[in-house]
C-alpha cells in the first residue's frame, strides 16, 4: 500500500510518525510464527552443540555461532515486546519478554524502563547517561583529568567495548538494577525474579549435562550474541553524521530520523537481527513490529537514503568517539586533537 503521504520528503520529519502509524499493527499469528521459528532452532542448536561436545569441543563451538544468532533474534523479539509492538497485547508482550529475558540474561522490566528513556532522549546532549553508550563532547573530554581521559579511552576501545562489554553487561551489570530504583520496586523485582529463573534453569541443565559442557556451550553463545547486540546498538547511533542537540534545539522527530542510522545488512543478517538496522524508522515509530519494517522501506524508498551505512562502512564508526559541537559530527581522538 502506497498513499500520497509516501511522497513526503525526508526533511518533513514531523509527518513521519503519522505515516508510520499505518504499519503499527502486528499480525498476532505472524508474531507467534516468528517466535516459534526463532526459539525452536535456538533450542535445537543448543542441544546439538552440547551433544557435539562429547565428540569434539571444536565441533560444538562452531555450532554456538548460529545459536548465538538465534539468541540475538530472541533479544530483538524481547525488544519488540518492550515496546508492546510484538503482540500489541500488554500481558502477552510482557510475559513473552520476561520469559525470553531468562535466556538473554536481560531482566525485562528493568531493561524496558532504561530503553524507554533511551528512546525519549536519544540525541539529546542534556539527557545522556541512561540506556545509551557514553559519548563526550570534545570540550568535556578536554576538561577531564589525565585519569579520566585514560578511562574514557579504555571504555571506547573496541576490545573493551565489544570484548569485555558483553561479559560486563549481560553477566554482571544486569544482575542488579543499580541506578533504577527511584520511585518503584519493579526493576528490583524484575531483576531478582529473572536471576532466580536463570539460576533454576542453569542449575537444571548443569545437573543434566554437567558443568563443563554447559559452560562450554552456553558462555560462547551468550558472549557472541551480546557482542553482536552491542555492535548493532553502537552502529545505530555512533556514526559520523548522527545528530545531537541541546534541549532548546532538540526535536524528537529530527533526532529519530537523522540521529539513528539505516544499517543496510544482507538478507539473512537482516532476518537474524530482526530488521533492527532500519533504526531511524524504529525510533520514529517504535510500535511498528520488526517484521513490518521491510514493508515501510518498500513503500517509502526515500527513507533508504537517510543515514545509510553498509557493513564495510560501519567499521569506520569504531574510531568515532567524541562529539564536535562546532562541526556537528562525531570525530576521532586524532581529529579532536587537530580541532583543538
Within a domain: residue 19? no
Q: The domain containing residue 120 runs over which residues?
A: 24-339
Is residue 48 scored above 70 in pLDDT?
yes
Query: 8-17, 120-129, 149-158, 206-215: lowest mean pLDDT where?
Result: 8-17
Q: Which pLDDT belongs to residue 340?
A: 73
Within a domain: residue 313? yes
The CA-atom distances, in angstroms, between 126 and each of 39, 112, 245, 329 are 39, 21, 8, 16
Q: Residues 82-114: pLDDT tens digits?
A: 999 999 999 999 999 999 999 999 999 999 988
Q: Where are the alpha helices (DSSP H) in the chain?
A: 16-20, 28-53, 57-82, 90-104, 108-121, 138-142, 146-155, 158-159, 165-166, 186-209, 211-237, 252-259, 267-272, 279-284, 293-299, 311-314, 333-339
Within a domain: residue 63? yes
Q: What is the mean pLDDT of the chain?
A: 91
Within a domain: residue 160? yes
Q: State what percent of residues in the chain have pLDDT above 90.
A: 80
C-alpha cell at 85: 509492538
Q: In what order do the strands lie in the sheet with 136-137?
A: 136-137, 322-324, 329-331
Is residue 8 scored above 80 in pLDDT?
no
At residue 262, the 3 state secondary structure works out as strand
**Number of domains composing the chain:** 1
Query: Span 39-63, mean pLDDT?
Result: 88
Within a domain: residue 322? yes
Pairwise pLDDT comparison (233 vs 54), residue with the higher score: 233
Of 74, 76, 79, 83, the residue nearest 20 (C-alpha): 83
Q: What band does 2 get if pLDDT is binned at 50, 70 and 90?
A: very low
CA separation for the pair 17, 40 (Å, rounded)? 34
Within a domain: residue 147? yes
C-alpha cell at 119: 528512546
Q: Which pLDDT belongs to residue 181?
A: 58
Full 3-state SS string of 296-337 = HHHHCHHHHHCCEECHHHHHHHHHCCEEECCCCEEECHHHHH
Within a domain: residue 182? yes
Q: Which pLDDT belongs to residue 168?
A: 93
Within a domain: residue 17? no
Q: Residues 215-266: pLDDT tens digits?
A: 999 999 999 999 999 999 999 999 999 999 998 899 999 999 999 999 999 9
C-alpha cell at 280: 531511524
Q: Which pLDDT belongs to residue 297?
A: 96
Q: Residues 163-190: pLDDT tens digits?
A: 999 999 999 999 887 766 566 788 889 9
Amino acid at each position: 500500500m502506497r498513499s500520497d503521504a509516501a511522497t513526503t520528503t525526508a526533511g518533513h520529519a514531523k509527518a513521519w510518525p503519522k505515516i508510520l502509524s499505518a504499519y503499527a499493527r502486528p499480525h498476532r499469528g505472524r508474531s507467534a510464527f516468528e517466535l516459534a521459528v526463532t526459539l525452536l532452532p535456538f533450542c535445537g542448536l543448543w542441544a546439538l552443540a552440547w551433544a557435539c561436545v562429547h565428540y569434539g569441543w571444536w565441533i560444538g563451538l562452531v555450532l554456538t555461532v548460529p545459536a548465538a544468532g538465534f539468541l540475538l533474534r530472541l533479544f530483538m523479539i524481547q525488544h519488540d515486546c518492550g515496546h508492546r509492538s510484538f503482540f500489541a497485547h500488554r500481558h502477552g508482550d510482557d510475559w513473552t519478554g520476561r520469559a525470553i529475558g531468562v535466556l538473554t540474561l536481560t531482566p525485562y522490566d528493568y531493561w524496558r524502563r532504561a530503553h524507554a528513556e533511551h528512546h525519549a532522549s536519544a540525541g539529546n546532549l542534556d539527557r545522556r547517561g541512561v540506556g545509551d553508550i557514553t559519548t563526550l563532547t570534545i570540550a568535556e573530554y578536554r576538561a577531564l583529568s589525565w585519569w579520566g581521559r585514560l578511562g574514557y579511552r579504555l571504555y571506547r576501545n573496541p576490545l573493551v567495548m565489544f570484548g569485555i562489554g558483553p561479559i560486563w553487561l549481560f553477566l554482571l551489570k544486569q544482575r542488579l538494577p543499580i541506578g533504577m530504583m527511584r520511585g518503584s520496586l519493579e526493576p528490583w523485582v524484575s531483576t531478582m525474579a529473572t536471576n532466580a529463573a536463570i539460576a533454576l534453569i542453569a542449575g537444571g541443565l548443569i545437573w543434566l549435562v554437567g558443568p563443563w559442557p554447559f559452560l562450554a556451550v552456553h558462555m560462547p553463545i551468550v558472549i557472541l550474541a551480546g557482542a553482536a547486540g552491542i555492535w548493532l546498538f553502537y552502529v545505530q547511533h555512533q556514526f559520523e553524521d548522527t545528530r545531537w542537540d541541546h534541549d532548546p534545539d532538540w526535536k524528537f522527530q529530527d533526532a529519530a530520523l537523522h540521529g539513528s542510522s539505516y544499517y543496510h545488512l544482507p538478507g539473512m543478517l537482516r532476518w537474524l537481527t530482526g530488521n533492527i538496522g532500519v533504526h531511524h524508522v524504529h525510533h520514529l515509530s517504535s510500535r511498528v513490529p520488526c517484521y513490518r519494517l521491510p514493508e515501510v522501506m518498500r513503500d517509502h524508498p526515500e527513507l533508504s537514503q537517510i543515514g545509510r551505512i553498509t557493513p564495510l562502512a560501519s567499521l569506520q564508526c569504531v574510531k568515532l568517539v567524541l562529539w564536535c559541537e562546532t562541526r556537528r559530527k562525531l570525530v576521532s581522538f586524532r581529529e579532536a586533537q587537530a580541532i583543538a
